[in-house]
Structure 1
Amino acid sequence: MTGLRFPKSAHLVRASEFQRMRREGQSFHGKFIVLSVLKDLPSPEVRIGLITSRRVGGAVVRNRVRRRMREIVRAARPQIAAGTWLTLVARQAAANATFQSMAAEWLQLAQRSHLLGACS
Structure 2
Amino acid sequence: MKKEYRIKKNNEFSFVFNEGKSVANRQFVLYTAEKKGQEHFRFGLSVSKKVGNAVVRNRVKRVLREVFKELEPHVKKEFDYVVVARKPAADMEYSEIKKSMVHVLRRARVLKSSYSNG
**TM-score, normalised on structure 1?**
0.89
- Residues 35-46 of structure 1: pairs in structure 2 closer than 5 A: 35-46=30-41
How far did 1:61 drift?
0.4
SS at match of 2:102: helix
Which aligned runs of 4 or more in structure 1 are off by greater than 6 angstroms? none
Q: Structure 2 counterpart of 1:77, which letter?
A: E
Per the alignment, residue 87 of structure 1 pairs with: 82
How far did 1:119 drift?
2.8
Are 1:29 and 2:14 matched, yes or no? no
Give the fraction of aligned pairs with identical amino acids, expressed as a percent.
29
RMSD: 1.4
Per the alignment, residue 12 of structure 1 pairs with: 7
Mapped partners of 1:67, 1:16: distance in 2 = 23
Mapped partners of 2:75, 2:53: distance in 1 = 31
Per the alignment, residue 57 of structure 1 pairs with: 52
Structure 2: runs of 5 or more not aligned: none
Q: Structure 2 counterpart of 1:73, which letter?
A: F
Mapped partners of 1:107, 1:61: distance in 2 = 21
Q: Structure 1 counterpart of 2:53, which letter?
A: G
Per the alignment, residue 3 of structure 1 pairs with: none
Contact 1:111-1:119 at 8 Å conserved across structures: no
- Of residues 103, 107, 114, the one that matches 1:112 is 107
The alignment covers a number of residue pairs equal to 115
Contact 1:32-1:97 at 8 Å conserved across structures: no
